[in-house]
Amino acid sequence: MKNAETTNVPVRTNRSRFLFAFLFPVFAFLSGCTGGYSFTGASIPPGAKTISIATFPNYAATVNPQLSQKLTDELTQMFSSQTPLSVGSEDGDLQLSGEITGYDTRASALSSADEVSMNRLTITVKVRFVNKIDPDADFEQSFSRYRDYAASQDFSSVESGLMSEIVTEICEDIFNKAVVNW
């Protein structure tokens, strides 16, 4: 018969001691790291504290009035939530600027009766990235993404959702090119 006084006492096993002894120094080390790495894979140059993100004007032939602000806001949110950088609108250690150069919808697939069955919305953004800490990392590049939608759907009813998905992907591409170095 077990002693009633000892049955409620927690027992530390060798495994729990090992985990504590191993994990505590790892977490202590990671919490002391203040720059250069984040859990998103971003590689921030040592000494970089700020990023400026300019508003991306819309120079596409077809203009969606919400696109410029949505793109700028999403980039700002992405850099502020996934890096330790302070985000501003000008003169950062890292600088993003550019313009929207394309916003097109076209037929992308035909049915067996040679009728349009799918349409495609494509958004293209030209980006300039300046890295004052490491000028070798500067780039100027266009990023383009698209989404297909059924030709039977009214474009105005699906436009907002398609635009939102495309903008998220373009922002991820820009983020990865600028600070993930993929």
* Pairing assessment for the beta strands 50-53 and 86-88 based on DSSP bridges: parallel
Does residue 166 carry a pLDDT above 50?
yes
What pLDDT does residue 120 have?
A: 95
What is the 3-class SS of 70-106, one letter each residue?
HHHHHHHHHHHHHCCCEEECCCCCEEEEEEEEEEEEE
Residues forming a β-bridge with 126:
99, 142
Which domains are present in the chain?
A: 14-180 (3.30.160.150)
What pLDDT does residue 24 have?
A: 47
Q: For 73-102, how does the pLDDT look when each residue is reduced to its tens digit (9 = 90+)?
A: 999 999 999 999 999 878 899 999 999 999
Does residue 38 carry a pLDDT above 60?
no
Burial class (CB in 10 A: 0-12, 13-18, 19+), 104: middle
Q: For 19-36, how does the pLDDT look when each residue is reduced to its tens digit (9 = 90+)?
A: 555 544 444 444 334 444
Residues forming a β-bridge with 27:
none
Position with higher pLDDT, 35 vs 156: 156
Q: In the chain, what are the helix, strand and coil shares in percent, each to the nearest 5?
A: 35, 30, 35
CA atoms within 13 A on the CB side of 167: 23
Q: For 100-134, how does the pLDDT look when each residue is reduced to its tens digit (9 = 90+)?
A: 999 999 998 887 777 888 999 999 999 999 999 99
Query: Do the Cβ atoms of 79 and 51 come closer than 8 Å?
Result: yes
**Sign of the CA dihedral 180, 167, 103, 114?**
positive
CA distance 53 to 128: 10
Quote the percentage of the chain above a pLDDT of 70.
76
What pLDDT does residue 147 have?
A: 97
Mean pLDDT of all residues in the chain?
A: 83
What pLDDT does residue 43 have?
A: 78
